């Protein structure tokens, strides 16, 4: 049987806070529009600290909160869609950065669904006696990915990292993960790979033309906001329904829902469709914006530090992201 228990959580929030008012000085937007359409008031950007720096800091904080030593970590699973290295992978950089000398490493990129994928993977490793303590960390530095001339997308995102130390539990955990890549162009950022190999074309014919272009704009995150919105509401509701069905639970059994923080209206539409009261739904998008896979562990840390994660609680994590991916986890703490 799969089961997880959270031993500790941590975050790293970068120091440059940018409010909607700040953004309205550099683009045609205003606080009222952003708050009413998204629920976001401010976001933080990492001015000069790398993605892996943020991941290491969040991980150190989670390890301290868990009361374990870096040497106790058997596995580091790191999630990111905004790493700065092709290789080494982010989990290796975290493993080295925290001194987890006994840990194996795995990197995950299912974009904003990444923390859910990573916890799902962790729960499966934890069924093996070789792995007792797993660090799951998600870190995203998205400010350099977004186009500050595209007001519909750049206002949504922030930077940050969140981490959790988890161990095996004898209380069951259930999950549902999904992919729908036929619509991947609704949200993507292409890697611009330049090279000097004379035998290889710059443009390859198997990559979609929309996704590979020399136009500078296509270096940035590309998003069909309405398409993603529609997908997100359905995908989050479906993921929760499928996970509850696997668990043999009903919505009233769930004490706390922690959704991906993309847009307050997406969260409210999906949870209302499920009939889950808003008091059970945790939201911190106002201050953090969308930090992709770092959203859910950042919420977990807020709740944990407030003493709101209690033994025996049934918690649901649910998210969606580029891919298009989606998924949910239900576990008992
Ligand atoms: O992790 C996943 C990441 N992505 C998402 O979650 C995106 C999901 N989609 C959304 O959150 C929403 O679709 C948006 C927030 C991106 C846009 O909200 P919307 O309610 O779908 O607005 P819209 O695209 O229908 O735009 C309405 C109007 C347009 O003006 P016109 O054509 O009606 O004159 C936009 O040009 O709002 C305008 N607009 C803005 N106005 C002020 C778009 N962005 C802004 C802005 N400030 N920042």
Indicate if 174-183+221-332 has the same CATH topology as 4-170: yes
User: Which phi and psi (to 5°) does residue 119 adopt?
Assistant: -70, -35
Q: Is 117 helix (H, G, I), strand (E, B) or coil?
A: helix
324 lines ligand 1 (CB under 6 A): no
Nearest to 134 by CA among 158, 110, 159, 168: 168
Q: Write down the pLDDT at residue 190.
A: 84
C-beta of residue 292 within 8 angstroms of C-beta of residue 153: no
> Would you state the structure tokens that stand for residue 186, as one six-digit string?
């609704």
Give me the chain's average pLDDT, please: 95
Distance 225 CA to ligand 1 centre (A): 6
pLDDT category at 92 given cuts 50, 70, 90 is very high
C-beta of residue 128 within 8 angstroms of C-beta of residue 259: no
pLDDT category at 200 given cuts 50, 70, 90 is confident
d(CA 19, CA 288): 10
Distance 152 CA to ligand 1 centre (A): 5
Q: What is the mean pLDDT of residues 234-244?
A: 98
d(CA 284, CA 282): 7
Per-domain residue ranges for the chain?
Answer: 4-170, 174-183+221-332
Determine the topology of domain 4-170 in CATH.
Answer: Peroxisomal Thiolase; Chain A, domain 1 (3.40.47)
- Express each pLDDT in 184-199 by its tens digit: 889 999 887 778 888 9
Distance 317 CA to ligand 1 centre (A): 26
Would the pLDDT of 105 be above 90?
Answer: yes
Would the pLDDT of 86 be above 80?
Answer: yes
Helix or strand run (H / E) with residue 105: strand 104-108
Would the pLDDT of 205 be above 80?
Answer: no
pTM: 0.96
Q: What is the mean pLDDT of residues 35-52?
A: 98
Distances (CA, A) of 283 to 190, 278, 332: 30, 9, 20
> Would you state the structure tokens that stand for residue 160, as one six-digit string?
């940050």
Q: Write down the pLDDT at residue 183.
A: 86
Among protein residues, the one whose CA lies closest to atom 18 of ligand 1: 37
- Express each pLDDT in 261-294 by its tens digit: 999 999 999 999 999 999 999 999 999 999 999 9
Among protein residues, the one whose CA lies closest to atom 45 of ligand 1: 152
Strand 104-108 and strand 222-223: the pairing is unpaired
Q: What is the mean pLDDT of residues 324-332?
A: 98
Nearest to 262 by CA among 176, 315, 187: 187
- The count of other CB atoms within 10 Å of the CB of residue 220 is 18
Q: Write down the pLDDT at residue 102.
A: 98
152 lines ligand 1 (CB under 6 A): yes
- Express each pLDDT in 133-179 by its tens digit: 999 999 999 999 999 999 999 999 999 999 999 999 999 999 999 99
**In which residue are the tokens 């991980």 written?**
59
Among 163-167, 200-204, 326-330, name the one with the lowest average pLDDT.
200-204
174-183+221-332 — its CATH code? 3.40.47.10
Percent of the chain residues past pLDDT 70, beyond the cut? 97
d(CA 201, CA 106): 31
Would the pLDDT of 215 be above 70?
Answer: no
Q: What is the mean pLDDT of residues 39-52?
A: 98
- The count of other CB atoms within 10 Å of the CB of residue 118 is 31
Q: Exposed, middle or buried: residue 41 (CB in 10 Å: 0-12, 13-18, 19+)?
A: middle
257 vs 200, more confident = 257
Q: What is the mean pLDDT of residues 117-129?
A: 98
d(CA 156, CA 12): 19
Q: Write down the pLDDT at residue 228.
A: 96
138 has which bridge partners?
79, 162
322 lines ligand 1 (CB under 6 A): no
Residues annotated as catalytic are 112, 260, 290
Which residues fall within 8 angstroms of residue 180, CB to CB, at 6 or more apart?
231, 235, 323, 324, 325, 326
């Amino acid at each position: 049987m799969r089961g997880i228990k959270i031993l500790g959580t941590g975050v790293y929030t970068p120091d440059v806070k940018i409010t909607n008012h700040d953004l309205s000085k550099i683009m045609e937007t205003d606080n009222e529009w952003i708050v009413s359409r998204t629920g976001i008031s401010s976001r933080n950007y990492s001015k000069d600290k790398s993605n892996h720096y943020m991941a290491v800091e969040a991980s150190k904080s989670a390890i301290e909160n868990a009361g374990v030593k870096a040497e106790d970590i058997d596995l580091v699973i790191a999630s990111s869609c905004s790493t700065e290295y092709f290789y080494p992978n982010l989990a290796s950089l975290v493993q080295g950065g925290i001194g987890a000398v006994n840990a194996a490493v795995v990197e995950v990129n299912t974009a904003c669904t990444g923390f859910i994928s990573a916890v799902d993977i962790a729960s499966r490793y934890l069924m093996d006696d070789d792995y007792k303590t797993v660090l799951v960390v998600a870190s995203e530095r998205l400010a350099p990915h977004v186009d500050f001339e595209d007001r519909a997308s750049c206002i949504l995102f922030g930077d940050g990292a969140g981490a959790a130390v988890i161990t095996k539990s004898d209380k069951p955990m259930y999950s549902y993960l999904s992919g729908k890549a036929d619509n991947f162009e609704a949200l993507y950022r292409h890697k611009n790979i330049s090279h000097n190999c004379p035998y290889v074309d710059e443009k390859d014919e198997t990559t979609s033309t929309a996704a590979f272009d020399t136009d500078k704009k296509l270096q940035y995150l590309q998003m069909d906001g309405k398409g993603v919105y529609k997908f997100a509401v359905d995908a989050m509701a479906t993921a929760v329904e499928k996970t509850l069905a696997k668990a043999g639970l009903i919505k009233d059994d769930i004490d706390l829902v922690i959704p991906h923080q993309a847009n307050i209206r997406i969260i409210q539409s999906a949870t209302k469709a499920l009939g889950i009261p808003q008091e059970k739904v945790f939201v911190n998008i106002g201050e953090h914006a969308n930090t992709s896979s770092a959203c859910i562990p950042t919420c977990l840390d807020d709740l944990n530090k407030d003493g709101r994660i209690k033994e025996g609680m049934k918690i649901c994590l649910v998210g969606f992201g580029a891919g298009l991916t989606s998924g949910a986890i239900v576990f008992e703490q």
